[in-house]
Amino acid sequence: MTSIAKPQIPLLPLERNELGLTIRDYSGSMSTLCAGCGHDSVTAAIQEALWGLSIPPYQVAKLSGIGCSSKTPQYFDSAAVGFNSVHGRMAAVASGAAAANRGLVVVGVSGDGDSLSIGLGNLAHAVRRNVRMLYVIANNGVYGLTKGQFSASADIGSRSRKGEPNLLPPVDPMLLGLSLGATFLARGFSGDKAQLVPILRAGLSHGGFALVDVMSPCVQFNDHEGSTKSFRYVREHELQDIDADIIPVRGQIHSEQTPGAVTEVELHDGSRVLFRAVPEGYDPRDRGRVGSYLVESARRGEIATGLLYLDETTPDMHQLGGTPEERLWDLPFERLCPGSAELAKFQARLR
């Protein structure tokens, strides 16, 4: 099965961004995921976020690991160079790419298996290094490509399609990130683009590692009664905490909700969902209170969404490493090689 080029159906004149580009200029080839897959909405949201920020499409480096979610870099931004790597290692490969070229807009797309099981170690340490990148976990609590095994994010008591309950506690990437010193933690729902796009835009603008956990239900293996990652479950239990209205570097982005109000959102599949808006006094910079809030909402069986934690003061990988403003990969060789005279001097000590 080779990739399918997206048919270019002429529509009404599309809106153009600051670069004069339309959303089409950020598209990829046709998705080969299942019809209705939450991941396609995540792809669309990434595309819209890149377009909205007027990021030149070729400046993006898109990376992924292995799994359904990791197929998605094919489905957006064809002008970018991308790397579909191996299972669980995207965070490391992306760290390397960001190290070589600090000018890249690094976008990593991963899944809950890729990030929270096999790749947990690499994700954790990329968070610690504060690599400047957007890291999206399209989280459905299930292994789709191998047809329905539980992943590490499946909730206790969640049932597989065959009815077996999951007995192990879930890994919550937000709580995990908080303990690792993450600088940007946000959660969205693939069925809620209105909230997700601003979150992704904020993540793309963040000066460090932006970890975005997106509830993205699997229509084949995890969208049934008893699953805590089904569309229905997520809609009923989602608790939106805060607008993604804090955009470092590039100015403010406003989402549609207002504090204290209840917002009704129509999703791509026609269904409607209610979000509770930002609770009074929620401060995404207060690490201790964010932690207890996340634990509390999880205890109530609610999924806290929105921009959950933000720290704009911690230096990123390049600042920590003291690298120059230039990109390392094409620094002039003359600056890198000490030359024969220095080699002779060095060896004087070895005689």
Partner 1 sequence: MAEVQLPEAPSQARVNEFALKLANVNGTGSASTNNLLMQTIFRMGVPVSGKNLFPSNIQGLPTWYEVRVSQSGHTARTSSFDLMVAMNGQTYQQDIQEVASGGYLVYDDSWPLDPEMRRPDITFLGAPLAQLCAQRFLTVKERILMKNVATAGLVAALLALPVDELSKQLVAAYSRRPQLLEDNQAALELGYQHARDNFPCPLPFHVEEVGAPDGRILIDGNTAVALGAVFAGATVGAWYPITPATSVMENFIRLCAQYRRHPGPDGQEGRDYLILQAEDELAALGIVVGASWAGARAFTSTSGPGLSLMQELLGLAYYTEVPAVLVDVQRAGPSTGMPTRVQQADLLSAAFASHGDTRHILLFPSDPRECFLHTVRAFDLADRFQTPVVLMSDLDIGMNDWEVPELTWDDSYRPDRGRLLGTEELERLEQFWRYGDPDPEWTTPRAVPGETPRAGHLVRGSGHDFRAIYTERPDEYQEVVDRLLRKHRAAAAHLPPPVVERREGAPFGVITMGSCDLPVREALEQLPGPEPSYLRITGYPFPPAVAEFIEAHPHCYVVEQNRDAQLRSLLLIETGAGGERLRPVLSYGGLPVTASFVRDRILEQESPQ
Q: Candidates 122-130, 137-145, 216-224, 279-287: pick the segment binding partner 1 (CB under 8 A).
A: 122-130
Q: How far is the CB of 131 from partner 1 (least distance, A)?
A: 10
Looking at 85, 166, 205, 220, which residue binds partner 1 (CB under 8 A)?
85
Burial of 350 (0-12, 13-18, 19+ CB in 10 A): exposed
Q: How far apart are CA 306 and CA 177, in angstroms?
A: 15
Q: How far is the CB of 83 from partner 1 (least distance, A)?
A: 6
> How many residues interact with partner 1 (rule CB under 8 A)?
70
Looking at 58, 156, 292, 301, which residue binds partner 1 (CB under 8 A)?
58
Q: How far apart are CA 79 and CA 57, in angstroms?
A: 6
Under the criterion CB under 8 A, does residue 103 sit at the interface with partner 1? yes
Under the criterion CB under 8 A, does residue 95 sit at the interface with partner 1? yes
Q: How far is the CB of 345 from partner 1 (least distance, A)?
A: 10
Under the criterion CB under 8 A, does residue 134 sit at the interface with partner 1? no
272's enclosing H/E stretch is: strand 272-276
Which residue lies nearer to partner 1 by CB, 194 or 328? 328
How would you write 73-118 as a 3-class SS string? Answer: HHHECCCCEEEECCCCCHHHHHHHHHHHCCCCEEEEEEEHHHHHHC
Contact 185, 306 (CB under 8 A): no
Looking at 3, 17, 117, 319, which residue binds partner 1 (CB under 8 A)?
3
Under the criterion CB under 8 A, does residue 350 sit at the interface with partner 1? yes
Residue type at 92 in one-letter notation: A
Under the criterion CB under 8 A, does residue 92 sit at the interface with partner 1? yes
Q: How far is the CB of 331 from partner 1 (least distance, A)?
A: 6
Burial of 44 (0-12, 13-18, 19+ CB in 10 A): buried
Contact 320, 130 (CB under 8 A): yes
Looking at 167, 261, 262, 331, which residue binds partner 1 (CB under 8 A)?
331
Which residue lies nearer to partner 1 by CB, 280 or 325? 325
Which residue lies nearer to partner 1 by CB, 87 or 224? 87
Q: Candidates 39-47, 96-104, 183-191, 233-241: pick the segment binding partner 1 (CB under 8 A).
A: 96-104
Q: How far apart are CA 125 and CA 135, in angstroms?
A: 13
First to last CA, the chain: 63
Q: How far apart are CA 224 and CA 213, in angstroms?
A: 21
Q: How far is the CB of 149 from partner 1 (least distance, A)?
A: 20
Q: How far apart are CA 136 and CA 112, in angstroms?
A: 10
**Chain contacts with partner 1 (rule: CB under 8 A):** 1-3, 56-63, 73-74, 77-86, 88-89, 91-101, 103-104, 121-122, 124-125, 129, 317-318, 321-331, 333, 335-340, 342-344, 346-347, 350-351
